[in-house]
Structure 1
Amino acid sequence: MAIHESDDALVQRYLDHVRFEKRLAARTVALYTLDLEKLATHAAQVGVPLTAVEASHIRRWVAQMHSGGRSGRGIALILSGWRGFYIWLGREGLVAANPVLDVRAPKAAKPLPKALSVDDAVQLASFQAADADPWLEARDAAMVELLYGGGLRVAELTGLDVQASAAARGWVDLAAAEAHVLGKGSKRRIVPVGAKAVQALRAWLLVRDQALSGVPAAAAAGALPQAALFMGRNGTRLTAQSIWQRVRQRSLQAGLAAPVHPHMLRHSFASHVLQSSSDLRGVQELLGHANISTTQIYTRLDFQHLAKAYDAAHPRAHLKTGGSGGSK
């Protein structure tokens, strides 16, 4: 549909403004051009010039774009371009009000966190690397068990010490089978530690201090042996980045289809506990979420699990719709 001539002139003047006066990048100008062509087309379809467009028109066009499958983020970018155009028209004295000013794009659907299947999570937690360094193997196995078995954030894991102390951010009490962690907002919580994690931690603690034999005597005379539960060969506390790398490497060695990061194990923990218990409030407390709305996203993960189980197992899920095989 051809753009109304006067509208075409206005659009061109604005594009010249952003190209030459504002000196925007050519790519940005090209995007503005496409967005304003859409605007002019919408306006022509309802028979109004661009200078007579109202907020009700904008909202209707936003609804059309959304129902047509355009994402909330994409619509927000288009609205931003339109908003700038009407700001310029206002400065030129061509419109009395900006019809895009108070119009917002639909909220983008929050993506579901990636979680492993139960089988993949168990495969990773049970994995034992062949011919691996026994020290690294014991440490990495204990880290994975805690991340998946307790749903810890990676920062909570790095903050764990071997023993409780006034200075400790967190520690593990193996006798009580629980981890004391310092979460977001400096909030402390106690997380149950499963039998497999306790077993893995005991195995790690048996070999943990072997690394200290290679630390220079000057360092050993200081703060060593380190308080950190998980440390590197040099005796220093592991960083979050190091743990991400080790978990990723271990997941690939275990034969998982895609690399795993520590937060994926936290998501998997939450999803699997919720699948088994349906106790949303309990999962909230285990994860240390301040608001239950944050935890509710795992109910969507749980529904996905149920939907897949239905599609795989229920005879009615495989029936074709339509045709002559309908119920009578």
Structure 2
Amino acid sequence: MSNRWRRRSARYKRGPDHWLIRLPLPAPRRFPPDTRAPAPLTLASPRVLIPFVIISLIWGSTWIVIRDQLSVVPASWSVTYRFLIAGSAMFALAAWQARRSGEGVLLDWRALVFTIALGLMQFCLNFNFVYQSEHYITSGIVAVIFALLIVPNTMLSRAFLGTVITRRFLAGASIAVVGIGLLLAHEARAISGDASAVTTGVTLTLIAVLCASIANVMMASQIARAQPLFALLAWSMLWGTIFNAAFAFATVGPPVVDWRAGYLGGVAYLGIMGSVVCFPLYLSIIRNVGAGPAAWSGVVVPMVAMALSTLLEGYDWSGLAIAGTVLALAGLIVALRPAGQASD
């Protein structure tokens, strides 16, 4: 007897008159609905880790490009050109998002006031202080100091957003900060200049870190989360461009352009790759895991910059640089470990 016939005959039985009587089919099994909440996202989640890797690689390359931007063009005008390009492209993306989702590009007045403050902190003060600092200290030192962004981001997120800080995260951050200190000690050896110039450069960089941290926490706030991502960034970049242009005109005079292909290509790369591609990804990371974990990209970026410098400029790795890189990566690994593998 075939399996098919057995399955069919199992649904019948013989009655008293030798007639086959069809048996009722068994009721289908019902499973209770899954009411478990989805697991919270972490830096190790693919949805977060992939953008994290992308922005770390791109922003690691921008430090080399920024160095060439410090030419005959004043830094404030270079920043203006960068965000003029980025803001224009971001408005195009905002219009595309509006057509797909039905949300408008225009924001209400509260959101517009918010974007003015965000544009001032993130796309004007932050970048102007970074560009200006590289007149006094090397880009390597600026990049390494910026890795300390994880500290104010974590503290401000805790103070203003009530973000929970786990022991695992603190342990990883502490290890990474020690590694950053070793990297900073290595880069400090390259300083050639008087103490006042070094102090000025470090001070400008620390102010830039604070401005970036305030902007990061603003992007993690409820009012920022309620806005369409591209529209929020587009308006912020618009205000940042206006602030940059006003500051540049007031401090260094009319616009200056370097028509070298290297300079123009660098502005385009920083505007499109370093801003239009990276900032939406970075904002999505902040929305998913918070400003503190997002700042781990600042720990990875200097190491990417040093790796690229090794390939392109013959960067010399010392024992301090190697030890600092290992410790910084170890701190990142500790922070990325699933909660089940480390006590919170």
TM-score if structure 1 supplies the norm length?
0.25
Higher normalized contact order (CA 8 Å, seq sep 6+, divided by chain length): 2
Using the size of structure 2 for normalisation, the TM-score is 0.24
Answer 1 or 2: which has greater helix percent. 2
Higher gyration radius (CA): 1
